[in-house]
C-alpha cells in the first residue's frame, strides 16, 4: 500500500512537470511578446525591454521555467499575472470555488438524472421509456454545451424568468449583497443543468449498458435461484456490480472538469477557471494560464488517486500493489 502510494506520487510529479513544461514551450512558440502588452500601447523599445526584464521574459525559456518551478515547490507561489500584476494564487483561489460549485453540483445533477433513467431503460429494454431515453442520449451527446446553454438561458431565463441568466453568488462570505446558499443555488441552476446534459447522456448510456450486461451474469441467476426477490437482486447483486465502472468514470470526469468548464462558464459569465484560462490566453498571460493548469493537473491527479483507492475499497478483487 505504501509502496503503491509512493509510486503513484512519483508518477504524479512526472506528469506535473510534463504538463507544465509543455505549456511553457507552447507559449514560447507563440509569436507574441507579453512584454509589449505589459508595457502599454505607447511604449518605446526601451520601455518594452525594461518591461521584459521586469516580468522575466528576457531570460531563456529554461530559466523562466526553472524559476516557475522553484517558486511553486519552495513557496507554493504561482507568481503574478503579466496582465495586471495580481497574485495568480489569489486569481486561481477566487476562480476555483466557482468551477468547483459548477462541477460538483453538476455531477449531482447528472447522476440524479442518469441513475434512474439508465437503470429503468436497462430493466425495460426497447420499451417506450428506453427509446425516449436513448433519444435524449443522442441529443445530449450531439448538442454543443454552448447551444444548450443559450437555449436554456433564452427559455428559462429570458422568456419564463424562472432563473437568472448570468452572475455568480458566493455561498459564504459574499462580496456583494447577493449571497448565501439559496441565491447561490438559484444562480447555479441553469449552469448545472447545461453542464450536466452531456454527462447525463454519457452516463445514461453507460449505466444502461452496465446494468444490461450485469443482469446476464451467472451470479444474478444464482441470486434468483436462492429465492431472492427482484428488488434485492437488483440492489445487492446487479447494481452493486454494475456501478463499479461508473464510480471510476465519475471520479475521473470530475477531476477533468475541475480544470474548467469553459463553455458553460462562458455562456453564463461565471468567473471560474475556464473563463480565467481563456482570458489569460488572450492576454498572453502565461502565469495565469499556468496557474489554472497547475490547479487542473493537481485536481486530475488527486481525483485519479481517490478513484483508485475507492475502487480497491469497493471491489474486493482489486489489490493495490
Partner 1 sequence: MALLEVRDLKTHFRTDDGVVKAVDGVTFSVEKGQTLGIVGESGSGKSVTCLTIMGLNSKRNTISSGEAIFKGENLLTMPSNRLRDIRGNDIAMIFQDPMTSLNPVHRIGVQLVEAIQLHRDVTKKQARLRALELLKAVGIPRAERRIDDYPHQFSGGMRQRVMIAMALVNDPDLLIADEPTTALDVTTQAQILKLMTDLQEDFGSAIILITHDLGVIAEAADDVVVMYAARIAEHAPVDNLFKRPHHPYTWGLLGSLPRLDADVERLVQIRGQPPSLLNPPRGCRFHPRCPYVMGICKTVEPELGPAGDDPDHVQACHLDVETKDREAAKVLAGTMAEAS
Q: Candidates 223, 257, 286, 296: give the one binding partner 1 (CB under 8 A).
A: 223
Considering the rule CB under 8 A, would residue 317 count as an interface residue with partner 1?
yes
Identify the residue among 172, 225, 231, 282 touching partner 1 (CB under 8 A): 225
Separation of CA 24 from chain center: 22
In the complex with partner 1, which residue's Cβ is closer, 14 or 314? 314
Nearest residue (CB) to partner 1, 47 versus 315: 315
Which helix (H) or strand (E) segment is 160 a member of? none
Taking the complex as a whole, how short is the minimal distance between the CB of residue 237 and partner 1, in angstroms? 6
Please tell me whether residue 219 binds partner 1 under the rule CB under 8 A.
Answer: yes
Closest CA to 111 of 188, 191, 202: 202
Binding of partner 1 by 3 (CB under 8 A): no
Number of residues that bind partner 1 (CB under 8 A): 21
* Residue 112 lies near partner 1 (rule: CB under 8 A): no
Taking CB under 8 A as the criterion, the residue among 74, 229, 231, 282 binding partner 1 is: 229
Task: Confirm or reject binding of residue 77 to partner 1 (CB under 8 A).
Answer: no
CA distances from 218 to 118, 121, 227, 238, 251 (A): 22, 21, 15, 11, 29
130 touches partner 1 (CB under 8 A): no
> Using only C-alpha atoms, what is the Rg of the chain?
24
Q: Assess 60 for contact with partner 1 (CB under 8 A).
A: no
Residue with cell 427482484: 230
Taken in order 71, 273, 277, 8, the sign of the CA dihedral is positive
Among 53, 75, 221, 235, binds partner 1 (CB under 8 A): 221
Nearer to partner 1, 120 or 302 (CB): 120
In this structure, are residues 183 and 169 in contact, taking their beta carbons and an 8 Å threshold? Answer: yes
Burial class for 210, CB neighbours closer than 10 Å (0-12, 13-18, 19+): buried
Q: Given the complex with partner 1, which of 75 and 240 has the nearer CB atom?
A: 240
Q: Can you spell out the DSSP letters for 261-311?
A: -HHHHHHTT--SHHHHHHHHHHTT-HHHHHHHHHHHHHHHHHHHHHHHHHH
Candidates 173-181, 187-195, 217-225, 268-276 — which segment interacts with partner 1 by CB under 8 A?
Answer: 217-225
In angstroms, what is the minimal distance from the CB of 136 to partner 1? 23
Rounded Cα gap, residues 98 and 70, in angstroms: 28
Q: Which is nearer to partner 1, 125 or 179 (CB)?
A: 125
User: Nearest-CA neighbor of 192 among 145, 243, 232, 229?
Assistant: 145
Given candidates 1, 63, 151, 314, which one binds partner 1 under the rule CB under 8 A? 314
235 belongs to the binding site for partner 1 (CB under 8 A): no
Q: Which residues form the interface with partner 1 (CB under 8 A)?
A: 217-219, 221-229, 236-237, 240-241, 244, 314-317
Amino acid at each position: 500500500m505504501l509502496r503503491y502510494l509512493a509510486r503513484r506520487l512519483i508518477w504524479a510529479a512526472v506528469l506535473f512537470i510534463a504538463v507544465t513544461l509543455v505549456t511553457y514551450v507552447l507559449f514560447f512558440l507563440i509569436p507574441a511578446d507579453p512584454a509589449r502588452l505589459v508595457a502599454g500601447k505607447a511604449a518605446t523599445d526601451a520601455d518594452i525591454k525594461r518591461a521584459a526584464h521586469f516580468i522575466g521574459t528576457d531570460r531563456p525559456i529554461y530559466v523562466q521555467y526553472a524559476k516557475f518551478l522553484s517558486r511553486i515547490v519552495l513557496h507554493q507561489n504561482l507568481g503574478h499575472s503579466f496582465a495586471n500584476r495580481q497574485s495568480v494564487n489569489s486569481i486561481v483561489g477566487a476562480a476555483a470555488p466557482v468551477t468547483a460549485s459548477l462541477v460538483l453540483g453538476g455531477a449531482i445533477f447528472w447522476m440524479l438524472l442518469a441513475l434512474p433513467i439508465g437503470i429503468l431503460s436497462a430493466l425495460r429494454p426497447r420499451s417506450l421509456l428506453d427509446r425516449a431515453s436513448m433519444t435524449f442520449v443522442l441529443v445530449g451527446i450531439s448538442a454543443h454545451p454552448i447551444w444548450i446553454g443559450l437555449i436554456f438561458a433564452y427559455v428559462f431565463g429570458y422568456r419564463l424568468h424562472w432563473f437568472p441568466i448570468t452572475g455568480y453568488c458566493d455561498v459564504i462570505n459574499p462580496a456583494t449583497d447577493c449571497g448565501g446558499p439559496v441565491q447561490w443555488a438559484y444562480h447555479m441552476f441553469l449552469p448545472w443543468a447545461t453542464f450536466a446534459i452531456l454527462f447525463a447522456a454519457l452516463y445514461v448510456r453507460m449505466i444502461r449498458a452496465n446494468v444490461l450486461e450485469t443482469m446476464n451474469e451467472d451470479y444474478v441467476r444464482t441470486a434468483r435461484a436462492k429465492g431472492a426477490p427482484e428488488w434485492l437482486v437488483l440492489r445487492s447483486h446487479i447494481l452493486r456490480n454494475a456501478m463499479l465502472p461508473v464510480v471510476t468514470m465519475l471520479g475521473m470526469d470530475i477531476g477533468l472538469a475541475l480544470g474548467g468548464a469553459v463553455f458553460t462558464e462562458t455562456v453564463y459569465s461565471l468567473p471560474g477557471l475556464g473563463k480565467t484560462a481563456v482570458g489569460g490566453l488572450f492576454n498572453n498571460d502565461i502565469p495565469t494560464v499556468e496557474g489554472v493548469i497547475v490547479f487542473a493537473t493537481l485536481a486530475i491527479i488527486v481525483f485519479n488517486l481517490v478513484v483508485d483507492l475507492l475502487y480497491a475499497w469497493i471491489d474486493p478483487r482489486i489489490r493495490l500493489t
